Amino acid sequence: MINKVVSGAEEAIHDIPDGATIMLGGFGLCGIPENCINALVAKNTKNLTCISNNAGVDDFGIGLMLKQRQVKKMISSYVGENAEFERQLLSGELEVDLIPQGTLATRCLAAGYGMPAIFTPAGVGTEVAEGKEIRNFDGKDYLLEYAFDADFAIVKAWKGDTAGNLIFRSTSRNFNPVMAMAGKITIAEVEELVEVGALDPDYIHTPGIYVHRVFQGKDYEKRIEQRTVRKVH
């Protein structure tokens, strides 16, 4: 088997240049590639275009990159949880492209499936449709949306093997598998790195062909954004 293992986050992101377009998996703070984000913060890579459903919070996730002014542009569906983000947006320091969540996911999917574009009804008749080609199928309008073109995709999985096969856990799966398919170079950090043969081929979510670098992550904080519980009766 081809061995995709790298030593850690620092090596995994070493060649991401200033100005790169990167995808980052996760929904809110759930399933984000914590190790790689920290490494990008340490390296202070600049002028990044980040494709990610959300933009982290002030002191965690992509929020850490925003704080250091590393992000030129965010492409997201919902960005409400971050005061520094808001400040940079209102002052014009940060470019933001807000797109529907399903459009975001499916533009990743298209890239991973080798399709140049998709048609979706999301945003028809709204400002999202401005300047976009519209096609009518069976009496309903659809917007043409292009597949993403990302230099790197950075994802977080639960388990991965040395060949880059990945398994995700619970709803931390979210955008991770579709982004893993969509990067020209895909980096996967995993909670548990295992030898080939340890994962059942029937239970692989992302086949290793999509993954170029995999490493054993460490010190996962896995912060919870909205801790909600019910009382014991």
Cβ atoms of 41 and 47 within 8 Å: the answer is no
Tokens of 166: 């990945």
Closest CB to other proteins among residues 16, 112? 112
Instruction: Kindly state the smallest distance separating residue 80's Cβ from other proteins, in Å.
Output: 3
The single-letter DSSP state of residue 171 is: G
CB of 63: closest distance to other proteins in angstroms?
Answer: 14
Beta bridge partners of 159: 167, 192
Closest distance to other proteins from the beta carbon of 31 (Å): 7
Q: Is 166 exposed, middle or buried (0-12, 13-18, 19+ CB in 10 A)?
A: buried
Terminal CA-to-CA distance of the chain, rounded, Å?
Answer: 53
Q: Which is nearer to other proteins, 72 or 205 (CB)?
A: 205
Of the pair 13, 51, the CB lying nearest other proteins is at 51
User: Strand 166-167 to strand 150-161: parallel, antiparallel, or no bridges (unpaired)?
Assistant: antiparallel
Closer by beta carbon to other proteins, 168 or else 215: 168
In the complex, the smallest distance separating the C-beta of residue 29 from other proteins, rounded to whole angstroms, is: 8
| Contact (Cβ atoms closer than 8 angstroms) between residue 156 and residue 25 | yes
Q: 54 is written with which tokens?
A: 């959300």
Task: Compare residues 25 and 208 and give the one whose CB is closer to other proteins.
Answer: 25
In whole angstroms, the minimum distance from the beta carbon of 81 to other proteins comes to: 8
Q: Considering beta carbons, is residue 38 or 162 the nearer one to other proteins?
A: 38
Interface with other proteins (CB under 8 A): 27-31, 53, 76-80, 86, 89-90, 98-106, 108-109, 120-128, 158, 168-178, 205, 222-232
Beta-carbon contacts of residue 104 (< 8 Å; ≥ 6 apart): 51, 53, 75, 76, 77, 175
Q: What's the min distance (Å) between Cβ of 215 and other proteins?
A: 19
Pick from 179, 115, 178: nearest CA to 145? 115
